[in-house]
Protein backbone atom coordinates (compact mmCIF):
# COMPACT_ATOMS: atom_id res chain seq x y z
CA UNK A 1 0.00 0.00 0.00
CA UNK A 2 1.43 3.42 -0.89
CA UNK A 3 2.36 5.81 1.92
CA UNK A 4 -0.48 7.88 3.37
CA UNK A 5 0.16 11.55 2.64
CA UNK A 6 -1.14 14.25 4.96
CA UNK A 7 -0.99 18.01 4.56
CA UNK A 8 -0.24 20.85 7.00
CA UNK A 9 -0.63 24.59 6.43
CA UNK A 10 1.57 26.53 8.85
CA UNK A 11 0.68 30.04 10.01
CA UNK A 12 3.70 30.10 12.36
CA UNK A 13 6.67 30.15 12.17
CA UNK A 14 6.66 31.74 8.73
CA UNK A 15 8.40 34.77 7.24
CA UNK A 16 7.01 38.09 6.08
CA UNK A 17 8.30 39.97 3.03
CA UNK A 18 11.18 41.42 5.02
CA UNK A 19 12.31 38.01 6.26
CA UNK A 20 10.91 38.59 9.76
CA UNK A 21 9.31 35.71 11.68
CA UNK A 22 5.55 36.31 11.91
CA UNK A 23 2.21 34.64 12.64
CA UNK A 24 -0.16 35.01 9.68
CA UNK A 25 -3.94 35.13 9.88
CA UNK A 26 -5.99 32.01 9.19
CA UNK A 27 -8.16 32.68 6.14
CA UNK A 28 -11.42 31.12 5.08
CA UNK A 29 -10.25 30.84 1.47
CA UNK A 30 -7.04 28.95 2.31
CA UNK A 31 -8.98 26.40 4.35
CA UNK A 32 -11.61 25.88 1.65
CA UNK A 33 -9.30 25.79 -1.35
CA UNK A 34 -6.71 23.51 0.21
CA UNK A 35 -9.36 21.22 1.73
CA UNK A 36 -11.00 20.82 -1.70
CA UNK A 37 -7.64 20.17 -3.38
CA UNK A 38 -6.53 17.78 -0.63
CA UNK A 39 -9.83 15.89 -0.81
CA UNK A 40 -9.57 15.66 -4.61
CA UNK A 41 -6.11 14.10 -4.37
CA UNK A 42 -7.04 11.59 -1.66
CA UNK A 43 -5.45 13.29 1.36
CA UNK A 44 -7.01 12.09 4.62
CA UNK A 45 -5.80 14.74 7.08
CA UNK A 46 -5.33 18.44 6.41
CA UNK A 47 -3.96 20.30 9.43
CA UNK A 48 -4.52 24.02 9.79
CA UNK A 49 -1.74 24.97 12.19
CA UNK A 50 -1.78 28.15 14.26
CA UNK A 51 -0.69 28.91 17.82
CA UNK A 52 -3.44 31.54 18.14
CA UNK A 53 -6.36 30.04 20.01
CA UNK A 54 -8.96 32.52 18.75
CA UNK A 55 -7.97 31.75 15.16
CA UNK A 56 -8.35 28.02 15.79
CA UNK A 57 -11.80 28.79 17.22
CA UNK A 58 -12.61 30.82 14.09
CA UNK A 59 -11.47 27.97 11.86
CA UNK A 60 -13.57 25.55 13.92
CA UNK A 61 -16.64 27.75 13.37
CA UNK A 62 -16.05 27.81 9.60
CA UNK A 63 -15.72 24.03 9.51
CA UNK A 64 -18.81 23.47 11.67
CA UNK A 65 -20.87 25.75 9.44
CA UNK A 66 -20.16 23.45 6.50
CA UNK A 67 -20.07 20.18 8.42
CA UNK A 68 -23.22 20.40 10.50
CA UNK A 69 -24.65 23.89 9.99
CA UNK A 70 -26.48 25.53 7.09
CA UNK A 71 -23.68 24.80 4.64
CA UNK A 72 -23.88 21.03 5.11
CA UNK A 73 -27.15 20.84 3.20
CA UNK A 74 -26.54 23.89 0.98
CA UNK A 75 -23.36 22.35 -0.46
CA UNK A 76 -22.62 18.74 0.55
CA UNK A 77 -19.42 18.66 -1.55
CA UNK A 78 -17.99 21.31 0.71
CA UNK A 79 -18.92 19.29 3.79
CA UNK A 80 -17.08 16.34 2.29
CA UNK A 81 -13.92 18.42 1.70
CA UNK A 82 -13.97 20.05 5.14
CA UNK A 83 -14.37 16.70 6.89
CA UNK A 84 -10.61 16.15 6.50
CA UNK A 85 -9.64 19.45 8.17
CA UNK A 86 -8.03 19.35 11.63
CA UNK A 87 -6.67 22.06 13.84
CA UNK A 88 -3.30 22.00 15.59
CA UNK A 89 -1.47 24.58 17.71
CA UNK A 90 1.90 23.72 16.18
CA UNK A 91 3.68 21.28 13.88
CA UNK A 92 4.31 18.86 16.76
CA UNK A 93 0.59 18.71 17.44
CA UNK A 94 -0.02 17.55 13.88
CA UNK A 95 2.84 15.04 14.07
CA UNK A 96 1.48 13.60 17.31
CA UNK A 97 -2.00 13.25 15.84
CA UNK A 98 -0.66 11.26 12.89
CA UNK A 99 1.57 9.14 15.13
CA UNK A 100 -1.38 8.29 17.39
CA UNK A 101 -3.49 7.11 14.48
CA UNK A 102 -0.93 5.37 12.33
CA UNK A 103 1.52 4.17 14.95
CA UNK A 104 4.34 5.81 13.02
CA UNK A 105 6.06 9.16 13.13
CA UNK A 106 5.51 10.91 9.78
CA UNK A 107 8.35 11.92 7.51
CA UNK A 108 8.42 15.71 7.25
CA UNK A 109 8.43 17.04 3.71
CA UNK A 110 8.77 20.75 3.01
CA UNK A 111 8.26 22.81 -0.09
CA UNK A 112 9.79 26.17 -0.80
CA UNK A 113 9.87 28.61 -3.70
CA UNK A 114 13.59 29.08 -3.04
CA UNK A 115 16.14 26.66 -4.54
CA UNK A 116 18.32 24.69 -2.09
CA UNK A 117 21.06 22.06 -2.34
CA UNK A 118 19.73 18.52 -1.95
CA UNK A 119 16.18 19.40 -3.02
CA UNK A 120 14.37 16.43 -4.55
CA UNK A 121 12.40 16.55 -7.81
CA UNK A 122 8.66 15.87 -7.87
CA UNK A 123 9.13 12.95 -10.27
CA UNK A 124 11.65 11.26 -7.95
CA UNK A 125 9.52 11.76 -4.84
CA UNK A 126 6.36 10.60 -6.64
CA UNK A 127 8.10 7.37 -7.55
CA UNK A 128 9.38 6.94 -4.00
CA UNK A 129 5.88 7.48 -2.55
CA UNK A 130 4.54 4.40 -4.29
CA UNK A 131 7.16 2.26 -2.53
CA UNK A 132 7.03 3.80 0.96
CA UNK A 133 4.83 2.82 3.86
CA UNK A 134 5.83 5.51 6.36
CA UNK A 135 3.25 8.30 6.62
CA UNK A 136 4.32 11.52 4.93
CA UNK A 137 3.47 15.04 6.08
CA UNK A 138 3.64 17.73 3.38
CA UNK A 139 4.18 21.12 5.02
CA UNK A 140 3.11 24.34 3.31
CA UNK A 141 3.91 27.81 4.63
CA UNK A 142 1.76 30.93 4.45
CA UNK A 143 3.15 34.48 4.15
CA UNK A 144 6.56 34.54 2.42
CA UNK A 145 7.23 30.91 3.29
CA UNK A 146 8.33 28.57 6.08
CA UNK A 147 10.86 29.84 8.65
CA UNK A 148 14.39 28.33 8.55
CA UNK A 149 13.85 26.16 11.66
CA UNK A 150 11.04 24.29 9.89
CA UNK A 151 13.05 23.85 6.69
CA UNK A 152 15.99 22.53 8.76
CA UNK A 153 13.80 20.08 10.63
CA UNK A 154 12.48 18.52 7.42
CA UNK A 155 13.48 15.03 6.32
CA UNK A 156 13.02 15.95 2.68
CA UNK A 157 12.84 19.17 0.74
CA UNK A 158 11.08 19.35 -2.61
CA UNK A 159 12.47 21.45 -5.44
CA UNK A 160 10.72 24.75 -6.22
CA UNK A 161 7.86 24.58 -8.73
CA UNK A 162 9.20 25.87 -12.01
CA UNK A 163 6.96 27.67 -14.42
CA UNK A 164 8.13 29.21 -17.65
CA UNK A 165 10.65 31.80 -16.48
CA UNK A 166 12.14 33.39 -13.42
CA UNK A 167 8.84 34.74 -12.00
CA UNK A 168 7.61 32.31 -9.37
CA UNK A 169 5.07 33.74 -6.98
CA UNK A 170 2.21 31.26 -6.80
CA UNK A 171 -0.31 31.69 -4.01
CA UNK A 172 -0.20 28.96 -1.36
CA UNK A 173 -3.60 27.79 -2.72
CA UNK A 174 -2.20 27.43 -6.24
CA UNK A 175 1.14 25.94 -5.13
CA UNK A 176 -0.63 23.41 -2.89
CA UNK A 177 -2.82 22.24 -5.78
CA UNK A 178 0.12 21.93 -8.16
CA UNK A 179 2.19 20.00 -5.61
CA UNK A 180 -0.63 17.53 -4.94
CA UNK A 181 -1.24 17.09 -8.66
CA UNK A 182 2.44 16.44 -9.37
CA UNK A 183 2.72 13.89 -6.56
CA UNK A 184 -0.70 12.24 -6.55
CA UNK A 185 -2.59 13.19 -9.73
CA UNK A 186 -3.63 10.51 -12.22
CA UNK A 187 -0.88 10.60 -14.82
> Which residues bind to a second copy, rule: CB under 8 A?
17, 29, 32-33, 36-37, 39-42, 75, 77-78, 80-81, 161-165, 167-171, 173-178, 180-182, 184-186
Query: Contact at 8 Å (CB) between 146 and 113?
Result: no
Secondary element (H or E) of residue 10: strand 5-10
Q: Smallest distance, Å, CB 96 to a second copy?
A: 25
Whichever of 131 and 169 has its CB closer to a second copy, that residue is 169
Q: Smallest distance, Å, CB 7 to a second copy?
A: 13
Whichever of 11 and 79 has its CB closer to a second copy, that residue is 79
Q: Smallest distance, Å, CB 89 to a second copy?
A: 27
- How many other C-beta atoms lie within 10 A of the C-beta of residue 79? 18
CB within 8 A of 2, min separation 6: which ones?
129, 130, 131, 132
In angstroms, rounded to a whole number, what is the distance separating the alpha carbons of residues 124 and 158? 10
Q: Exposed, middle or buried by CB within 10 Å (0-12, 13-18, 19+), for 135?
A: buried
Q: Smallest distance, Å, CB 47 to a second copy?
A: 18
Whichever of 12 and 41 has its CB closer to a second copy, that residue is 41
Whichever of 96 and 163 has its CB closer to a second copy, that residue is 163
In angstroms, rounded to a whole number, what is the distance separating the alpha carbons of residues 39 and 176? 12
Amino acid sequence: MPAPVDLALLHFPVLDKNGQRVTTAVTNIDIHDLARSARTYGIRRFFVVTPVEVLRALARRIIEHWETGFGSTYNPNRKDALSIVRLAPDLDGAILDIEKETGQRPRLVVTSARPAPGAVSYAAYREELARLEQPQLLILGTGWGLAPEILERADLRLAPIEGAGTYNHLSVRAAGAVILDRLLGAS
